[in-house]
Amino acid sequence: MSTLVLTLITGVGLGALYFLVASGLSLIYGLMHVLNFAHGAFLTLSAFMGWMVAQAVGTESWGGFLLSILVGAVVGAVFAALTELVLIRPLYERHIEQVLVTVGLSFAAVALFEGIWGTDPINIAGPPWLKETTEVLGARIPNTYWVLMIAAILVLAALVLFLQKTRYGMVIRAGVENRSMVTALGIDVRKSFTLVFAIGGAAAGIGGVLAMHYSTFVSAHLGSTLLIFAFIVTVVGGLGSLTGAAVASVLVAVLQQFANSYLGGTGDFIVVVLLAVVLLVRPSGLLGRKA
């Protein structure tokens, strides 16, 4: 029983991490129709910057931990906004060029990070509480998973409230549906689109710092590894659907954890099978809109 509970809760916690990475990816595609393959670079740079801040303040202090998350969000937002302004804005409606540019940026970013911080993973230490466990129905759950779940819930709520309840959120949604009409009203839609990238980058930045603590290391390839699962989650949930990304994140991670625990470590294979089934049966994803 305790093993079952441990597998289930850690699966949900891992799903929370997948959602933090995939939420920005899904948001950018859903509103901008841009498949951003450089999303992992936002995450990795944020993790490195968060690690450097934590080193300066104190890696085992809660102040350093929280400040590193804040710095990660800011770095991710700035990097994403600059990417949109310099590389993506001239290429709207040119999807092949967008893919080539963002793939090139992701490779260049990894090479740059390796040149600055080296090719070997850097071990990190967070607050001691994160290394401790909390007992649930006889299972000892690492506290890192609880932090991931809380962060994912807060990010999802913030994104939904922003898009549904704020003026900028309404402008963004209106600009996506009818850009010429919104422009005719005197609203600069381009600024709103840059804001979308910044918000997606901030979510990736938060995910990057928390992924660093989950993995207990940071490396130039941290974002690239997680980006694979982020794309799977985005496709399974439905391209552009935040709710779909949240549901798919939990589904993918729980299946992965159970397969690793009970099916001889075949978690990654099961996830790929799930992706294939969804693409064959429902290409629009679980909660995606049919074309």
The structural domains of the chain, with segments of one domain joined by +, span: 19-227
Gap between the terminal Cα atoms of the chain: 44
Q: How confident is the model at residue 182 (pLDDT cuts 50, 70, 90)?
A: low
User: Encoding tokens for residue 157?
Assistant: 């709520």
Q: Region 150-176: what's the mean pLDDT?
A: 81
How do beta strands 139-142 and 133-136 pair? antiparallel
pLDDT in tens, 79-120: 999 998 888 888 877 778 888 999 999 999 999 999 999 888
pLDDT in tens, 202-257: 999 999 999 998 888 899 998 888 888 888 998 898 877 888 889 999 999 999 99
**Residue 36 confidence (pLDDT):** 84
Residue 147, H or E segment: helix 143-165
- The answer to whether residues 71 and 139 touch, using CB atoms and an 8 Å cutoff, is no
From the list 92, 5, 38, the residue with the least C-alpha distance to 204 is: 38
CB atoms within 10 A of CB 33: 14
In one letter, which amino acid is 166? T
Q: How confident is the model at residue 189 (pLDDT cuts 50, 70, 90)?
A: low
pTM comes to: 0.89
Report the distance separating Cα 162 and Cα 165, nearest Å.
Answer: 6
